[in-house]
Amino acid sequence: MRQTYHDVMETVKQENIRYLLDTLGGQAQVATELGISRQAVNQWVSNGLPRDIRTRVHLHQLVRDLGLKLPQEFALTDLIYEDKVK
């Protein structure tokens, strides 16, 4: 079965979110840092990052706190803000 462009992009998005979460220490660590359940963070892989700007800003701060090299920080930050936030 051939995948549509939309299916491929959804898979890429899910993989990017997994990468972001893994880089931040895993779903449990991110949940602890944000004060939410691991199950809520797990839903991000299927449903995308929450649209709440406060959550995205907190994720960005977690990335900055890692002290990553600038290109990697930019890549992760781009993942956080890639969707239009309402």
Domains with residue ranges and CATH for the chain: 5-81 (1.10.260)
Residue 18, number of CB atoms within 10 A of its CB:
13
Segment 15-36, tens digit of pLDDT: 989 999 999 999 999 999 999 9
Segment 48-76, tens digit of pLDDT: 999 889 999 999 999 889 887 867 788 88
